[in-house]
Structure formats: structure tokens, C-alpha cells
A and B are shown apart, each in its own frame.
Chain A
Amino acid sequence: MLQIVNSDARWVRWLTFMSSLLLGAAIWEIVGWNFNPAIMAPLIGGDGHPGAAPRLVRFLFADEEFRDSFLGSVKLFGMGFGIAVATAVPLGILLARMTMLRVAVESYILALYATPMVALIPFILAILGYDYWPKVLVVVLFSFFPILYNTLEGARSVKPELLEVARSFKASELSLWRDLYIPYTLPFALTGIRQATGRALVGMIAAEFFLSTSGLGKEIVVASRNFDMAAVLATIILITALGVMLMRGVEAIEKRYAAWRGIER
């Protein structure tokens, strides 16, 4: 018995995974039915105990308002994250090229990387107000520094031999970037981008909670004020699924280019 459970055979792994899913769902269902619906909703649900799964289906396929919230959140995320990637990666490489500047500002970048960006949200609110762009700024702030830091670390570790060869062939700055720095730094930048996806997601919801409420953040706040647990849980599941998909996507790209890192791993 123990041997079967511990074997690495494919069907055993598949079966244990499936039973873990079923077990989790069953526990959730039982807990949901035994609590007040204002405190906890079951997964499937039924009379008097609306479930999270049916609510999620309705949200996704039959609820215009929710779909707009969802798309608004995705747009906010895409805008902020896109700006962060588009500025942090070139800046990281540029700093690696300009040694003096890099030495000068590196510790400050590290300090900002370690600063909990949520603490800056009240300032953004007070100075920039309730517009759309302050929210984008929050997402940018959350995701910018992991990308910058990792890109910089990557671009800094370009092998000196490669640089020497490029220099002895009188490579221009442009081709130095195109043929050496950008390809060499890509895997490192992707590590930063992966770290940043999670943070940007937190930034997105934080912005939607604490600045002008909108999007999925608003859906959660409103639903929790109405003690509509099924809607809260359904939205949380959706956000988590979004995060997992984004993370997996970047991870897949990262793995593809990880071989370029050579001796680092």
C-alpha cells in the first residue's frame, strides 16, 4: 500500500493530485454549508448557501458589469506593468553601461526595492488624487524596482571577455547593445519580470482599494460590504487564476532563455 502511494508512476501522481483537489473541494463545501453564508460560502452551494463556483461562472459569462470591472483591471495592470517593463529594462542596461552612475545610485535602487511600496499609496492619493493615472503609477511603482534590479545585476555580469572581444573589433555602442547586452540580460530581466508580476497584481488591487475604487478591487470591497461571500470568493479565485496564468507564462519564457545564463545555474 505504502509502496503504491510513494511510487512515482504517472497514474499514482495523477490520482493523488485529483484526490487532493476533490478532498479540498469537499472540505470547502462542508465548511461552507456549516457556516453562516455571511461568513463563508461553499464551493458549489445550493439553497440558502450560494456557492462560489456558480457565481464565478455567472460573473464571467452573464454579468456585463463584472466583465467591465475585469477588463478595467486587466487594462490597469497591462498599462502599469507595460510601462514598468519598457522603462526598467533599458534603464537597467544603461546603468550597467555607465559604471560611475551605477555605483552612485545602486544602493538607492536597492533601498527602494526593499521599501514596501504600499506605504507610498497615501502620498499618491494626497498629491495626485483619484484619477486613472495615479492608479497606473501605483502599479508601475510596485513592479518597476524588481525588474530594474534584476536587469542591472544581469547586465553587470556580462563576461569581460565578451566585452573585450567586442571592443577589439571596434563594436559600436548600438551593436554592443543589440548583440551582447540585450540577449545576455534577457534571462535576468525575465526573472525580475516574473517577480514583478506578483507585485504588480498586488499593486493593482491596492490601487483599486485605496485610490478611486474600480475593477476587481471594487468588486471585492463591495461584495464584502454586502457580506456576499460567494462573490468575494469567486473574485479572489479569478484574481488568483489570473496571477497563476501570468506567472506560468513568464516562467515558461524564462525557462526557454535560462540556458543562456550559462554557468550561473
Chain B
Amino acid sequence: MSGTQVQSALAPGAIERGATRVLGWAADVGIGPKVLAGLAILTVWQIGVGALAPPFVAKPLNIIAVMPGVLAGREFLMATYYTLSAVFQGLAIALIAGTVIGVAMGRVKIIDRLLNFYINGFYTMPMIAVLPLLTIWFGYEDKARLATVVFAAFFSIAINARDGARSVPPEFLEVARAYRSPAYLVWFDITLFSSLPYLIAGMRLAAGRALVGAVIAEFFVSLDGLGLYILAHTRTYQHNEAVVGVLMLAAFGLAFEGAMNKITRRYFPWYRRDARG
């Protein structure tokens, strides 16, 4: 939230947008309430679960107790490695394919009109429904997970790349034409470059979906990874260990989101737009 405060301190227009006064006051309060609320949540969790739930259910203190052992354990590290490498590989494939298709759609009308219906349709399609199909096509192995990740990530990147390529200011293209720039410069220096912030927004969305895709695929196909780690440990009533897996997933999601936001703020400060989702 500190970003909002910095922005409102710099831009006078932002003050009229409201909430600044409240925020300013909140900034005075500092992180005290946050820590307090966190402690309160954990205490209620600890005591409530201890009193009401069966003993195998995860409790904060027990999670903290098992955490070092889990984090140092080979099993957990390998699970994390398998899941994250599948997510990154899938994202890389989806990024390249999605950018090519999306930019082509954004710049060439006929391609846009032919593909738009399908790209939007597949984007809305819940990827989990396609999972059984992908497992039949790709077998009960790693490839099915990779396919799920690519399927989950591709369409949001393509849609954002298309929006980005359409939003290239026409003056740039006119100047390029006036100076007779070769086509590849128009594509790489102008179109691709000005779609970059949109691509980053697409990546942010895609990463979340890709992570979900990887976990679902691991549940469904029983592939080694964080999803299966969580599933196996909940089945054997080791919920505290399983929660560490969930925390790892959440941490990855937040870290990726934070990195993308930082890149946008650092390199594309003029870019402000709600990501599609």
C-alpha cells in the first residue's frame, strides 16, 4: 500500500480521489494494527482449532514447529522445484506464443477477426474442465502438467498482448512510415515495445492461473510437486506440513505479483490500467 501513498503525495490530483486523509492517518498508525490483527488471527486459530477441531488439524504453533524441518527436507524442496519449474517453463512457452498471436491479432485485422472468438472463448473456459482431456492427450505424466500450465497462461497473455498492440499510438506508426522504417523495426521497436506494460499485466494474471493449473494437474494426475505434497500430507493427517506447502504457493504468487508491479512502476511509470481478469 505504500505505493499508493507515494503516488498521492506526488500527484495533487490523487488527493481528490479520496481516502488520502484516511490513508495519511493510517500511515501514522504504522504497522501496529497489522501485527496486532495478525497475532489475534493466529491466537483465535490456535485456540479455536485446539478446542473444536480434531487434533490433526493444523495449528499455527505446530506449523512453526515443523516448518524448519519441512523447508530443509529434500522432499519439500524437490516438490517446490518440480512445480515451479513447470510453471516457469509453461509461462515461457505461453509468453512467446501468446505474444506472437496477440500482437498479430492486434495489428492485423483479419487475424483478429478470425481468432478473437476462439481466444476469448478459451480464455473463459475453466481450465480445470479441460484437465481430463489434457491427461488423455498428454498421458499421466509431466507433459500433462506443462500442457495445463500453458493452457492456463496462454490466453490471458494473448488477450493482453492484443490490447497492447492495439493501443500503440498511431502517431508513432505515422512517424515510422514517414521515415520509411523497415517493417521489423516497426514490429520490434514500436509495437512490441509499447505493448510491454500490457504484456506484464498479462503475465501477472497468467502466473496466478498457471500456478493453479499446475496444482490442479498434480492433484489430478498425481505428479510429484507441491500440489501432491499437500494432498499426500493431508491424507496422512500431517496437516501442519501440508500448510507449509500452501504457504509456499501463496508466497510464490505474492512474490511474482510484487515483482511484476515493481517492474511496471520502475520502467513504465506512465502506465496505469486495470488488468483484465
Interface string of A6-19 (1 = CB under 8 A from B): 10000001001101
Which listed segment binds B: A55-63, A80-88, A114-122, A167-175?
Answer: A114-122
| Option from A99, A121, A205, A220 in Cβ contact (under 8 Å) with B219 | A121
Which residues of chain A are near B237, meaning CB under 8 Å? 126
Indicate whether B92 reaches chain A with its CB closer than 8 angstroms: no
Which residues of chain B are near A216, meaning CB under 8 Å? 129
Q: What total count of A-B pairs have CB within 8 Å?
A: 166
Do residues B34 and A107 form an inter-chain contact, with CB atoms below 8 A? Answer: yes
In chain A, what residue has the closest Cβ to B134? A224
Do residues B129 and A105 form an inter-chain contact, with CB atoms below 8 A? Answer: no
Indicate whether A156 reaches chain B with its CB closer than 8 angstroms: yes
| A-B interface, 8 closest residue pairs, ranked by CB to CB distance from nearest | A104-B37, A224-B132, A104-B33, A122-B234, A16-B113, A115-B250, A20-B114, A240-B125
11 contacts between A and B (CB under 8 A): A107-B1, A114-B250, A116-B250, A118-B212, A118-B227, A158-B18, A159-B16, A220-B132, A236-B133, A239-B129, A247-B124
In chain A, what residue has the closest Cβ to B232? A122
Which listed segment binds A: B21-29, B171-179, B188-196?
Answer: B21-29
Smallest Cβ distance from A117 to chain B, in angstroms?
8
Which listed segment binds B: A42-50, A64-72, A194-202?
Answer: A194-202
Indicate whether B63 reaches chain A with its CB closer than 8 angstroms: no
Do residues A119 and B121 form an inter-chain contact, with CB atoms below 8 A? Answer: no
Smallest Cβ distance from B51 to chain A, in angstroms?
15
Smallest Cβ distance from B61 to chain A, in angstroms?
18
Smallest Cβ distance from B138 to chain A, in angstroms?
11
Which residues of chain A are near B117, meaning CB under 8 Å? 17, 20-21, 24
Interface string of A95-107 (1 = CB under 8 A from B): 0000111011111
**Complex Cα spacing A54 to B54, Å:** 50
Question: By DSSP majority rule, is chain B's interface helix, strand, loop, or mixed?
Answer: helix
Which residues of chain A are near B128, meaning CB under 8 Å? 202, 205-206, 209
Do residues A114 and B257 form an inter-chain contact, with CB atoms below 8 A? Answer: yes
Do residues B132 and A119 form an inter-chain contact, with CB atoms below 8 A? Answer: no
Do residues A220 and B29 form an inter-chain contact, with CB atoms below 8 A? Answer: no
Total A residues in contact with B, Cβ cutoff 8 Å: 65
In chain B, what residue has the closest Cβ to A105? B37
Given A105-B37, A118-B219, A122-B231, check contact A13 B53 (CB 8 Å): no
Which listed segment binds A: B65-73, B94-102, B239-247, B263-271?
Answer: B239-247
Do residues A160 and B18 form an inter-chain contact, with CB atoms below 8 A? Answer: yes
Bin the interface of chain B by size.
35 or more
Do residues B250 and A205 form an inter-chain contact, with CB atoms below 8 A? Answer: no
Do residues A122 and B124 form an inter-chain contact, with CB atoms below 8 A? Answer: no
Do residues B127 and A202 form an inter-chain contact, with CB atoms below 8 A? Answer: yes
Do residues B227 and A235 form an inter-chain contact, with CB atoms below 8 A? Answer: no
**Complex Cα spacing A38 to B133, Å:** 10
Do residues A119 and B129 form an inter-chain contact, with CB atoms below 8 A? Answer: no
Smallest Cβ distance from B255 to chain A, in angstroms?
10
| Option from B58, B115, B249 in Cβ contact (under 8 Å) with A116 | B249
**Complex Cα spacing A16 to B198, Å:** 27
Q: A111-B250, A121-B219 are in contact. List 18 more A-B contacts (CB 8 A).
A: A16-B110, A38-B136, A39-B136, A101-B37, A106-B1, A114-B250, A114-B253, A116-B212, A116-B249, A119-B245, A126-B234, A160-B21, A202-B212, A206-B128, A209-B128, A233-B133, A239-B129, A243-B125
Do residues A6 and B245 form an inter-chain contact, with CB atoms below 8 A? Answer: no
Which residues of chain B are near A227, meaning CB under 8 Å? 136
Smallest Cβ distance from A209 to chain B, in angstroms?
7
Indicate whether B182 reaches chain A with its CB closer than 8 angstroms: no
| Option from B58, B130, B215 in Cβ contact (under 8 Å) with A118 | B215
